[in-house]
A and B are shown apart, each in its own frame.
Chain A
Amino acid sequence: MTEPGQSIKTASDQDVVAAARTGDEAAYRELVRRYERPVFSLIYRMVRNRELAEDLSQETFIKVLNALDSYRPEFKFSSWVFKIANNAAIDHLRRRELDTLSLEGSPHADTPEKLEATALQIGEKAESALDAVANKELGGEIEQAIAKLRPEYRTCILLRHVEGRAYEEIAEILDLPLGTVKTYIHRARNELRIALAHLRESDQ
Chain B
Amino acid sequence: MTQWPIQHLTADDLDAFHSASLSPTAHEHLDACAECRALVAQDSALVAALEKLPSFEPAAGFSERVMARVRPAPVLARVYHRQQFALAATLAIVLGASIVWSFFNRAELLSWLNHSAAAIGRTLWGAVRVLASNLTEQPWFASLRQFAASSGRVVLLGGGLLVGYGAAVFALRRLLAPPSRPVPHADW
Partners in one complex: yes
Q: How far is the CA of A81 from the CA of B70 in the complex (A)?
A: 16
Q: Which of B49, B55, B56, B77 has the most CB of A within 10 A?
A: B56
Interface presence of B97 (CB below 8 A): no
Interface presence of B139 (CB below 8 A): no
Q: Which of A24, A37, A142 contacts B57 (CB 8 A)?
A: A37
Q: Using known A-B contacts A186-B11, A189-B43, determine if residue A37 contacts B55 with beta carbons closer than 8 Å.
A: yes
Q: How far is the CA of A21 from the CA of B78 in the complex (A)?
A: 9
Q: How far is the CA of A182 from the CA of B13 in the complex (A)?
A: 12
Contact B62 A36 (CB under 8 A): yes
Q: Which of A25, A137, A142, A200 contacts B50 (CB 8 A)?
A: A142
Interface presence of A118 (CB below 8 A): no
Q: Which of A28, A183, A200 contacts B42 (CB 8 A)?
A: A200
Query: Which of the 9-residue segments A59-67, A84-92, A95-103 touches chain B?
Result: A59-67
A35-65, CB under 8 A of B: which get 1 and which 0? Answer: 0111011001000001001100110011001
Interface presence of A162 (CB below 8 A): yes
* Cβ of B86 to closest chain A Cβ, rounded Å: 17
Residues of A close to B65: CB separation below 8 A:
58
Interface presence of A131 (CB below 8 A): no
Residues of B close to A143: CB separation below 8 A:
53
Interface presence of A196 (CB below 8 A): yes
Contact A33 B63 (CB under 8 A): yes
Q: How far is the CA of A192 from the CA of B44 in the complex (A)?
A: 12
Which residues 31-86 of B sit at the A interface, judged by CB distance below 8 A? 42-43, 45-47, 49-51, 53, 55-59, 62-63, 65-67, 69-71, 73-75, 77-78
Residues of B close to A200: CB separation below 8 A:
42, 45
Q: Using known A-B contacts A41-B56, A164-B51, A200-B42, determine if residue A58 contacts B62 with beta carbons closer than 8 Å.
A: yes
Residues of A close to B51: CB separation below 8 A:
161-162, 164
Interface presence of A23 (CB below 8 A): yes
* Cβ of B119 to closest chain A Cβ, rounded Å: 48
Residues of A close to B26: CB separation below 8 A:
none
Interface presence of B14 (CB below 8 A): yes
Interface presence of A76 (CB below 8 A): no
A180-194, CB under 8 A of B: which get 1 and which 0? Answer: 001100100100110
Q: How far is the CA of A44 from the CA of B57 in the complex (A)?
A: 10
Q: Using known A-B contacts A54-B62, A142-B49, A182-B11, determine if residue A38 contacts B55 with beta carbons closer than 8 Å.
A: yes
Q: Which of B45, B50, B56, B67 contacts A32 (CB 8 A)?
A: B67
Q: Which of A54, A65, A196 contacts B58 (CB 8 A)?
A: A54
Contact A161 B50 (CB under 8 A): yes
* Cβ of B105 to closest chain A Cβ, rounded Å: 43
A92-122, CB under 8 A of B: which get 1 and which 0? Answer: 0000000000000000000000000000000
Interface presence of A174 (CB below 8 A): no
A130-159, CB under 8 A of B: which get 1 and which 0? Answer: 000000010000110000000000000100
Residues of A close to B74: CB separation below 8 A:
20, 22-25, 28
Query: What are 14 A-to-B residue pairs whose CB atoms are below 8 Å?
Result: A22-B78, A25-B74, A28-B70, A29-B63, A36-B57, A37-B55, A37-B56, A57-B58, A65-B73, A157-B50, A161-B50, A162-B50, A162-B53, A193-B42
Closest 3 CB pairs of A and B: A23-B74, A161-B50, A186-B11
On B, residues with C-beta under 8 Å from A are 11-12, 14-15, 42-43, 45-47, 49-51, 53, 55-59, 62-63, 65-67, 69-71, 73-75, 77-78
